[in-house]
Amino acid sequence: MSLSTDEIGKLLKEFFLSPVQEQLNRETIALDMFEKARVNWAGRVAIIPVHTGKGGGGVQFSNNGNVPVASTQDFAKLSVEARRLLARFQVDGMVMTAARKGNTDQVINWMEGSMDLLVEDVRDTMNQMVFSGGSVMGFATLPNAATAPGANIPNVGFFGDIQKLSLEFNAVGVTTCNLVNVDTGAIITTATVAAVDTTLCTIDLNPVVGAIGAAVSDYVLAIEVTSNNAPNARLAGATYAEEPIGIYGNLGSSVMFDVTRSGTALNSNGFRPLVGGATRAALSLDQIQQAIDGVLNESGEDIDVIFMNPLQRQSYTALLTANLQTITDKAGRGDGGFTGLSYGGVEIRSSRSCGRGGVILMSMKHWKLLQLDKGGFADFDGSSLSRVSATDAAEGYYRHYYNTACTRPNAQAVIAGISI
């Protein structure tokens, strides 16, 4: 049976598109969790009102019956705009003709391979953006020492998307960034990244304007990139401003969806460095508990999931196996591993998109995946394919308009400076 391009597109839509969209959700660990917090909205901007502070007055004890002065409350609006994710595939006209010589099933089976590859690209990109979307690429643990402007700080421990930072750095050999104090949201100084080691997950920093003063405890600073040298290394033609804001950006940026963090309750206050600079330390159960207790003290909220890199899980399982005796399953067979991990009932999830050298503790009810639609292949008047102008081919594309937002950063925590 001879099929036109439009007929092929209709058949693909009927028999193939639905399972492709289901694969996108099922096969991405971090994205799956965010999909559970999916919220649809209409309009240009999604507004999230947040309570950021309270003034004096309002409540007091009084023996004389005098009424206290009225209290004041501080509010802010997070203005979240959708980001446009597009993925495109193309089918050669001669190949389609050869497929039509067989039957409809052969056409669909051949197209399935092309669309599967596209979905794989979409899945990988969205899962990566859950963590490192936007200009904040991760966090640096700095030593407890003052550093003068222009003085190079070598081998600084980095937790985040080291590959993305490396692509940015290697484009021109220099990357400019803001060093953001994650506990206050204030920009301490600007700096350049002078070297990136993707194996050891370290960077060299050179403060440009202003010194980094000595601290009572080690610094954890967000690396907020201000240059835009090689964003297309991952997303062709895109800039960091066109990416959805990931976990690192939601917790570490100096400005959160048009709201300046400094001086507000939008700071995380849950960043805990094990050590600073080139020296890292092994993860401990005490550190995890301190981070959980810190979130509870700061926000009154409970952590319900812990994210780490799969290679980082080894450091956690080592803490458990040190105190275990021989384990047998119900059939009496020796079992030296785990089917799942948790801490105090909090599930531990691993994702290759999560950086090495740190752990993220999250309260998922305060995260939203905001979208204008659920994402899928574009529909051209009932067909998923359209002709390519001046080319013997047809094409289609996947599109999703969305962003991710944390509505309560102080209910989250990060442990940085862990041995890798």
Element (H, E) at 386: strand 386-387
Within 10 angstroms of residue 343's Cβ, the number of other Cβ atoms is 18
Q: Residue 413 has what pLDDT?
A: 92
Name the E strands within 59-201: 73-81, 83-92, 136-142, 153-160, 175-181, 187-197
Q: Residue 109 has what pLDDT?
A: 62
Report the C-alpha gap between 127 and 244 in whole angstroms.
11
Q: What are phi and psi of 388, to 5 degrees?
A: -90, 125
Instruction: Please report, in tens digits, the pLDDT of each residue of the chain (420 residues total).
Output: 444 556 555 555 554 444 444 444 344 788 888 888 888 888 889 999 988 777 666 788 888 888 888 777 888 899 999 999 988 887 777 766 766 665 556 556 666 667 777 877 888 889 999 999 999 999 998 766 666 666 788 888 899 999 999 988 887 777 889 999 887 888 888 889 999 999 999 999 888 766 666 554 457 889 999 887 666 556 655 688 889 999 999 999 999 999 888 877 777 666 777 654 456 888 889 999 999 999 998 888 999 999 999 888 888 888 887 766 555 556 656 666 777 899 999 999 999 899 999 999 999 999 999 999 888 888 766 667 777 778 888 788 888 999 999 999 989 999 998 988
Q: Residue 339 has what pLDDT?
A: 75
Q: Residue 302 has what pLDDT?
A: 94
Q: Residue 20 has what pLDDT?
A: 42
Token pair of 109 as six digits: 């089976």
∠ CA 249-287-353, rounded to 5°: 35
Q: Residue 23 has what pLDDT?
A: 45
State the chain's maximal CA–CA distance in angstroms.
96
What pTM does this model have? 0.84
Q: Check the CA dihedral 30-33-35-41 and report its sign.
A: negative
Amino acid at 22: E
Which residues make Cβ contacts (< 8 Å) with residue 70, sequence separation at least 6?
57, 58
CA 106 from centre of chain: 39
Report the C-alpha gap between 17 and 226 in whole angstroms.
39
Q: Residue 21 has what pLDDT?
A: 46
CA-derived radius of gyration, the chain = 25
Of 371, 404, 400, 419, nearest in space to 136 by CA: 404
Report the C-alpha gap between 151 and 113 in whole angstroms.
53
